[in-house]
Structure 1
Amino acid sequence: MGVHEVKKRIRVLIVDDSSVVREAMRHAVESDPELEVAGIAENGREALEKTLALEPDVIAMDFHMPDMNGIKATRRIMEEKPTPIVIVSGLLDPKEASANFMALDAGALALIEKPRFLGQEQQQALARIVETLKAMSEVAVVRRRRKPEGERPETPPRVEQSIRPPKRGPFSMVCMGASTGGPQALSSILSRLPGNFFLPILVVQHIAPGFLPGLVQWLDSHTQLEVGIAEHGKRPLAGHVYFAPDNRHMGVGPGNVIKLSDSPPLGSLRPSASHLFQSAADVLGDKVVGILLTGMGHDGAAELAVMNRCGALTVGQSEESCIVFGMPKAARDAGALDLLLPPEEIASMLITIHNSSEKQ
């Protein structure tokens, strides 16, 4: 009888101050044949201690906890024992929602909604957590330098290299799609663009319902551009970034106005990058830049290929810079891309296009 290699299970550290949540997550993890519980912690300080002692493969980290919250615990872990961290948060109050995304500044990889314990909705939330933990466990993370308490994130350096796009335009809009890891990639790109950037930017970001206002606030604090949630029928303005609202498709309508839609989900997604990119191809043709960023799945890949065939400039995020090289890989495999670039070089390319427009 041959010896069969047994695949090593992914070891998960569960961190939450609620015994009900801890038990639900423990059961969800133990029910998956690819996962096992490495340990359980009730607060951030205990999470740091158990990370150092147990060396888990991935951490499910609560946001609000006594003694040390999720942001501080994430920061300390990334300084002392870098480990993939998924923030599991129930913080949806619009006044505090942007605080969730401060955990990404601290080094967390993803943010996901905490289960609400309402039957099928609870099971769906737990399933999303399990799948996210699996995906994030494979991401290589690096040690963060220790920062003084309260220090703001550093202003990203300008990229010295000028990235010249293979297509010269003229362009009238930028359309982006993103999923897992998208907030970090978007922050890297948008924070480098000048406040007088000459094009409007439309973005579809896959995110749990309720988190979008916090993402918008967080990104608005990282960029000179104006960041907001799209409204139906509005003509997008230069130097503004428009996010598709929760559970509504966003596209480009006649006259280049924003068109929101309640049409059925595409591949279980609403909003979807596929809807945005197809509308951009139909209305804008070769006068648009399409960008597909990090994320699981293949949303937007086929429609980015349509944009490319229409003469649009199409760009995917490079594999080494992605948290999950899913959507850009699907676009690459579909022959949809003119360029594969890391976020800072995508920003440089957009700045090159901006500078060229000023000379015309």
Structure 2
Amino acid sequence: MPTKVLLVEDSPIALELLKRLLTDSAEVEIVGTAQNGREALDLIPKVNPDVICSDLHMAPIDGLELTKQVMAKFPRPILVISNFVRENDTKHIFGLLQAGAVDIFPKPASSDYTDYARVQHRLIAKIKMLSQVTVKARTQSSELRSDRSGNLVGVASPLENRSSALRAIAIGASTGGPQAIHKIITSLPADFPIPIICAQHIGDGFLTGLITWLKEDSQLQVKIAQMGETPAPKTVYFAPERAHLEFDARGKFIYSNFTTPTGTCPSIDTLFQAVARTYGSASASILLTGSGTDGVVGTEAIQAAGGTTIAQDEHGCLIFEMSKSAIASGWVKHVLGLSEIAPFLIDKSEY
């Protein structure tokens, strides 16, 4: 059975390109098109799509309001297809994820025919993957929010008075990862003494926006890891787009671009293995939501080095495949719910 898709796009050119990309595939069936959120809300109960692909900027109901109403009335996976074209788009795009959208995809360029096949393959694969995701009804009160309760923020003692058995924490995530990482780092105190290093699978062009979104809510510094930089406390680092993140002999960040068995870039396995080599038993890995097996080999490397290995449990995990594969491998020491991870890290930092 083909995946039924509803396209919501106010640009006739962009809509035509999306239709052309999808109608060439027997795996996808376009069951409706809408020019704005109002038309989409009228169509959803009639065409019953498996996945909704929506733009951000539309009137009278834009992508953010559409997402909120869909998740309250007709919960199903939403793929945001958009580009950052305005100064405040970062907040809005990632606000869509916070409101319940599952993932984001760069809007195809109408003139970029050389990449047509590649974009088509990636878009169809993304839609097929999202069609397997089960989403639950949401109200505004149940949306993902920063957890800055006093009992969490006040747990840690001043940095200068604390030593830690852990020296580096590596996080790997794919689909659903931005929401999960947001939950974790916004629950950590401003003086959290251990650098956090992330490999997040995300569409081209969205990493800077993700970092901006996280910086707005987190008490920690959030940035792209720079070549030659040494990981520092109170900071969350991200691997850059289209490169793997590793360390040189002095423990400073370096980029690499070799092909990995999982074919993902940045590679979670590469990051975890690099952290294991550099920090040994003082390392920790956290594997979050996502599809595929990237991170399983890296989790083994952390465990073999004597480090701490964590995987997100199935409850609340948007896509359990990646975490499940690591758990099944036997290399995961701790299987935790998303809300349990930050308190666990805080506890591990108090030595």
Check whether TM > 0.5: yes
1:302 pairs with 2:297: yes
1:54 pairs with 2:47: yes
Q: State the partner residue of 2:56.
A: 63
What is the rounded CA distance, in whole Å, between the counterparts of 1:15 and 1:121 in structure 2? 23
Q: State the partner residue of 1:312.
A: 307
Amino acid at match of 2:242: N
Alignment of 1:192-203 (within 5 A): 192-203=187-198
Q: State the partner residue of 1:185.
A: 180
Task: Provide the secondary structure at the position in 2 that maps to 1:59.
Answer: strand
Identity of matched residues, %: 33
Task: Provide the secondary structure at the position in 1 that maps to 2:330.
Answer: coil
Q: Post-superposition shift, 1:255? A: 3.6
Amino acid at match of 1:252: F
1:131 pairs with 2:122: no
- What are the superposed Cα offsets for residues 322-352 of structure 1, whole Å, 9 maximum, x if unpaired? 2212221221232221122221111121121
Q: Post-superposition shift, 1:247? A: 1.4
Whether the 8 Å CA contact 2:190–2:219 is kept in 1: the answer is yes
Out of 279, 283, 297, the position equivalent to 1:284 is 279
Q: Post-superposition shift, 1:79? A: 1.9
Cα distance 1:154–1:97, how it changes in 2: closer, same or farther (>3 A)?
A: closer
Amino acid at match of 2:81: V
Q: Post-superposition shift, 1:302? A: 0.9
What is the rounded CA distance, in whole Å, between the counterparts of 1:309 and 1:318 in structure 2? 22
What is the rounded CA distance, in whole Å, between the counterparts of 1:294 and 1:252 in structure 2? 25
Amino acid at match of 2:133: V
Out of 105, 113, 137, the position equivalent to 2:106 is 113
Out of 75, 79, 97, the position equivalent to 2:90 is 97
Cα distance 1:91–1:80, how it changes in 2: closer, same or farther (>3 A)?
A: same
Cα distance 1:155–1:270, how it changes in 2: closer, same or farther (>3 A)?
A: closer
- CA RMSD in angstroms, aligned pairs only: 2.4
Q: Post-superposition shift, 1:191? A: 1.2
What is the rounded CA distance, in whole Å, between the counterparts of 2:34 and 2:117 in structure 1? 22
Q: State the partner residue of 1:45.
A: 38
Q: Post-superposition shift, 1:294? A: 1.0
1:122 pairs with 2:116: yes
Cα distance 1:80–1:251, how it changes in 2: closer, same or farther (>3 A)?
A: same
Q: Post-superposition shift, 1:28? A: 3.4
Unmatched segments (≥5 aa) in structure 1: 1-7, 162-168
What is the rounded CA distance, in whole Å, between the counterparts of 2:14 and 2:329 in structure 1? 41
Q: Post-superposition shift, 1:102? A: 0.9
Whether the 8 Å CA contact 1:113–1:125 is kept in 2: the answer is no
Whether the 8 Å CA contact 1:18–1:42 is kept in 2: the answer is yes
What is the rounded CA distance, in whole Å, between the counterparts of 2:47 and 2:73 in structure 1? 13
Cα distance 1:208–1:146, how it changes in 2: closer, same or farther (>3 A)?
A: closer
Task: Provide the secondary structure at the position in 2 that maps to 1:327.
Answer: helix
